[in-house]
């Protein structure tokens, strides 16, 4: 069977590569943070494993080096590094910094470093001249030293998955943070998928020892579980760190666009200081701060043109059919529309208490929402201005 690129490898590899690309700027800014370094390394190892185990890349590496099956220890070394980093990440999350925690993490790194050395040693001692892209584990299951090579990586991976699953199972009831709990659940599912991968591989390899051919378990059934494990474990470690940031970003994005209607109305007001232009790629939290500041500056300058009586009448008219917050928003929208008209004509309100500006400033979100409903605002404004006109002539 000629090696070719399998579509199932594309999605998890692309997702991990994208996650690593998004994490890289954080790593460059905060590389001294142990958690940031560990997460970046974890994504690097997971991405490397999926890149190397893709059939076409296994074939290319074998051809490029001229060493048959060199891709095996190469991929398994990345997998071993992934196992060690995953276990130490869980320990970082579960336990507060201490000398005992540091010693345990160092012990894990040394153990898996020894596993990595063992992988290369057994491979170099083995005689595996026939390149095998898909079925190396079962094809060489009975070959001296390759047998040990295969067992070493499978058992090392199985131990890490069992230990991680146990630690996570014990820890889950104590987790209260929503994003951290989501990450722990992803991790449990991921390591459980890894256990299924290991058991399936061991059954197929053991069958070869007893003269039975169950190679399909190794070549067809096991690989999807490895892919699922890589994705879920990576998501598990990413979610608690990126989840809150994405939540803040989405909230800021929502608030930024929610204020758009009010911002467009008050743009007619010329502030004393020129507003710095922020491009579309500027951080949304910075653009939101600028938009809020621009609105508050405009309201301050519109204060002499805001009619408190009009605001109060609009509020009373809106309160009959809407809640208090929505009524404040509608009243503010009516008052601001009238104020911007007066601002253009340079006709400030005279002889009336100017209390509308603080009320509007306290409800700018509601005001902006109301301004996105021009028919309602127009109806309320016509009603209260006609009532005011009749009262004035009476």
pLDDT tens readout for residues 261-314: 999 988 888 765 555 566 656 778 888 888 898 898 888 888 888 888 888 889
Q: Which residue do the tokens 């590496």 mark?
A: 61
Q: With beta carbons less than 8 A apart as the criterion, state whether 51 and 57 touch.
A: yes
Give residue 204's pLDDT.
95
Q: With beta carbons less than 8 A apart as the criterion, state whether 367 and 262 touch.
A: yes
Q: With beta carbons less than 8 A apart as the criterion, state whether 41 and 83 touch.
A: no
Which of the four pLDDT bands, split at 50, 70 and 90, describes residue 44?
confident
- In the predicted structure, residue 7 carries a pLDDT above the cut 70: no
End-to-end CA distance of the chain: 97
Give residue 213's pLDDT.
92
Give residue 192's pLDDT.
92
For 33: left if phi > 0, alpha if psi spans -120 to 50, otherwise beta; the answer is: beta
Q: What gap in Å lies between CA 390 and CA 114, rounded to an integer? A: 92
Q: What gap in Å lies between CA 209 and CA 107, rounded to an integer? A: 34
Q: With beta carbons less than 8 A apart as the criterion, state whether 302 and 311 touch.
A: no
| Between 274 and 325, the higher pLDDT residue | 325
- In the predicted structure, residue 210 carries a pLDDT above the cut 50: yes
What is the residue-averaged pLDDT of the chain? 85
Give residue 394's pLDDT.
44
Q: With beta carbons less than 8 A apart as the criterion, state whether 179 and 218 touch.
A: no
Of 10-24, 103-117, 147-161, the least confident: 10-24
């Amino acid at each position: 069977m000629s090696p070719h690129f399998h579509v199932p490898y594309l999605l998890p590899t692309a997702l991990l590569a994208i996650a690593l690309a998004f994490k890289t700027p954080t790593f460059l800014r905060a590389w001294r943070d142990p958690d940031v370094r560990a997460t970046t390394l974890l994504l690097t190892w997971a991405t490397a494993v999926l890149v190397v185990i893709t059939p076409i890349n296994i074939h290319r590496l074998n051809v490029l080096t001229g060493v048959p099956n060199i891709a095996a220890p190469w991929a398994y070394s990345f997998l071993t590094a992934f196992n060690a980093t995953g276990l130490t990440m869980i320990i970082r999350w579960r336990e507060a910094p201490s000398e005992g925690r540091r010693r345990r993490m160092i012990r894990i790194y040394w153990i898996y470093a020894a596993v990595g050395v063992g992988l290369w040693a057994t491979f170099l001692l083995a005689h595996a001249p026939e390149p095998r892209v898909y079925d190396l584990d079962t094809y060489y299951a009975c070959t001296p030293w390759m047998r040990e090579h295969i067992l070493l990586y499978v058992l090392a991976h199985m131990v890490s998955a069992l230990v991680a699953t146990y630690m996570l199972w014990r820890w889950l009831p104590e987790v209260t943070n929503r994003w951290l709990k989501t990450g722990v659940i992803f991790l449990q599912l991921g390591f459980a998928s890894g256990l299924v991968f290991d058991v399936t591989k061991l059954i197929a390899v053991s069958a070869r020892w007893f003269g039975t051919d169950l190679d399909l378990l190794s070549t067809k059934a096991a690989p999807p579980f490895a892919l699922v494990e890589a994705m879920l474990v990576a998501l598990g470690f990413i979610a608690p760190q990126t989840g809150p940031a994405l939540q803040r970003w989405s909230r800021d994005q929502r608030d930024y666009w929610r204020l758009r209607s009010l911002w467009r109305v008050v743009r007619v007001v010329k502030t004393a200081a020129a507003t710095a232009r922020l491009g579309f790629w500027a951080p949304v939290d910075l653009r939101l701060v600028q938009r809020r500041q621009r609105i508050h500056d405009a309201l301050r300058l519109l204060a002499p043109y805001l009619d408190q009586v009009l605001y109060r009448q609009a509020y009373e008219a809106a309160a009959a059919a809407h809640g208090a917050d929505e009524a404040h928003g509608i009243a503010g929208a009516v008052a601001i529309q009238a104020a911007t008209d007066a601002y253009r004509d340079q006709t400030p309100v005279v002889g009336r208490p100017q209390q509308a500006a603080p009320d509007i400033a306290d409800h700018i979100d509601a005001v902006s929402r109301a301004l996105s409903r021009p028919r309602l605002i127009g109806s309320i404004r016509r009603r209260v201005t006609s009532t005011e006109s009749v009262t004035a002539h009476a």
